[in-house]
Amino acid sequence: MSADTFFRGVRLVGAGIDIQGDLLVRDGLIADFGPSFGCPEGATVIEADGAILCPGLVDMRAALGEPGFEYRETIASAAEAAAAGGITTLAALPDTSPAIDDPALVQLLRTRGEDTGSLTILPYGALTRGCRGEELAELGLLREAGAVAFTDGSRAIGSSRTMRLALSYARGFGARIVQHPEDPSLAGSGCATESEQSTRLGLPGIPAAAEAIMVARDIRLAELTGGAVHFAHVSTGEALDLIRQAKARGIAVTCDTAPPYFDLNETSIGDFRTYAKLSPPLRKEHDRKAVIAALADGTIDAIASDHQPRDADDKRLPFALASAGGSGLATLLGVTLAYVHNGSLTMQAAIELLTARPAALLGSDAGRLAKGSAADLCLFDPDRIWKVEAGELPGKAQNTPFDGRALEGVVLGTWKRGKRVFG
């Protein structure tokens, strides 16, 4: 049986590429691609007129249920949802139970990813022991074991001294520190952006300035130490202005955002809609527009799913008590494509934000269409419409803030090293 797969007449989109043509997969690798060329005899032919073939998506921020929270999600269920969303590489957060602060756990996550056959897992190492924000973890050993960067996940490093030490230490082996940009003392027990709406609903508020204050501090610490800091799920215009200015000064600062922060605003929490309770919380409309502008001008380096699986019982609570977080693997591509359709982004820019650019931040060779590269591929119809329905999503986690949203862009197939794993 031939190991060849031939994609005929597709639109090929990747870093620096947007052409109509063909692509040949042989023995799990991209053997050739370009304008129309001959199909090898015996190859399996994939024809999808009007479809786009791009690298498998690279999701640089997602929580997995394992270890410790398998009732929310398992690696197997996350891999199923990822494949359905066109994701073939995923960076997993370390604030599990136990936290990923031991080299053996880093290696275990990598192995578990390979065992799925459809998903490469790139583990983040815990920045502090137990992700408690106190004593630094063994960053050097975690890096040797395969940790791609260091973070305490959804917990901010509140101590300036700890953050300075982390940046200095990680600089020695070329690693990034990934920060949840929110001043813990200002955020307190808040659960919504401080605003007229949070006051009307009687919800404890988090000032939007809590994000910018943490960003300003860590930019200064990065400048002081020469270390590299990455800000996750940036959601406010003020923070993005600070990042834009820091980049112009040559400071080693990068950032990502997630679909809720450019597609939704604080009104999505409605009357205590817990599926829309996220961390950071949804912002005002002017911040949402600022995030879109920062995607377009290159200030934001990547779009991540920010997948935070939650069980139904985590959300069936009063808003202030419900767990923050939304599932995002299945909706990552579709929500991003909405901003291609409305003209905010070009298709090539959107795909780069979901593939090559996050891969580069993670030090991975994934996310590119290149001869000889692993054939991790996503084939999607950019115009087909589908409706997001909680309870009908692939995988275990159903807590989507996009419940009821109509999206254009359906994944037709996902391939991992040339093997079809979805569609």
How far apart CA 75 and CA 88 sit, in angstroms, is 13
Distances from the Cα of 395 to the Cα of 61, 70, 72, 82, 322, angstroms: 17, 12, 10, 8, 21
Distances from the Cα of 105 to the Cα of 88, 127, 141, 218, 415, angstroms: 21, 14, 12, 28, 27
Which pLDDT score is estimated for 360? 98
Q: Check if the beta carbon of residue 408 is closer than 8 Å to that of residue 384.
A: yes
Q: Check if the beta carbon of residue 255 is closer than 8 Å to that of residue 283.
A: no
How far apart CA 187 and CA 180 sit, in angstroms, is 12
| pTM beyond 0.95, yes or no | yes
Which pLDDT score is estimated for 1? 41
Share of the chain above pLDDT 90, in %: 97
List, in sequence order, every beta strand (DSSP E) within 166-227: 176-179, 192-193, 205-206
**Going by C-beta distance under 8 Å and a sequence separation of 6 or more, which residues neighbour residue 258?**
61, 233, 303, 304, 305, 306, 328
Q: Check if the beta carbon of residue 51 is closer than 8 Å to that of residue 379.
A: yes
Instruction: Give the angle subtended at the CA of 15 by the CAs of 353 and 364, to the nearest 5°.
Output: 70
User: Which ranges constitute the DSSP H helices of 226-284?
Assistant: 237-248, 259-263
Q: Which residue has the tokens 């630094």?
A: 136
Please state the rounded mean pLDDT for residues 30-57: 93
Please state the rounded mean pLDDT for residues 245-273: 97
pLDDT band for 36, please (50, 70, 90 cuts): confident
**340: pLDDT strictly greater than 60:** yes
Q: Which two tokens stand for residue 118?
A: 């459809």
Which pLDDT score is estimated for 2? 54
Please state the rounded mean pLDDT for residues 41-55: 93
pLDDT in tens, 135-174: 999 999 999 999 999 999 999 999 999 999 999 999 999 9
Residues recognised as catalytic: 306
Structural domain boundaries in the chain: 5-52+375-395+402-422, 56-361
Distance spanning both ends of the chain, measured CA to CA: 21
The closest alpha carbon to 206, from 126, 269, 130, belongs to: 269
Q: Which residue has the tokens 């569609």?
A: 423
pLDDT band for 50, please (50, 70, 90 cuts): confident
User: Among positive and negative, which fits the CA dihedral 103, 106, 112, 118?
Assistant: negative
pLDDT in tens, 213-237: 999 999 999 999 999 999 999 999 9
Distances from the Cα of 423 to the Cα of 81, 374, 376, angstroms: 12, 19, 14
Please state the rounded mean pLDDT for residues 87-113: 98
Which pLDDT score is estimated for 356? 98
pLDDT in tens, 295-337: 999 999 999 999 999 999 999 999 999 999 999 999 999 999 9
| CATH numeric code, 56-361 | 3.20.20.140
pLDDT in tens, 70-89: 999 999 999 999 999 999 99
pLDDT in tens, 351-386: 999 999 999 999 999 999 999 999 999 999 999 999
Q: Tell me the helices (H) and strands (E) count for the chain, helix number first.
A: 14, 19
Instruction: Give the angle subtended at the CA of 294 by the CAs of 131 and 55, to the nearest 5°.
Output: 75
**404 phi, psi to nearest 5 deg:** 90, -5
Q: Which two tokens stand for residue 374?
A: 């692993």
According to CATH, the superfamily of the domain at 5-52+375-395+402-422 is Urease, subunit C, domain 1 (2.30.40.10)
Secondary structure element (H or E) that encloses residue 145, with its range: helix 139-145
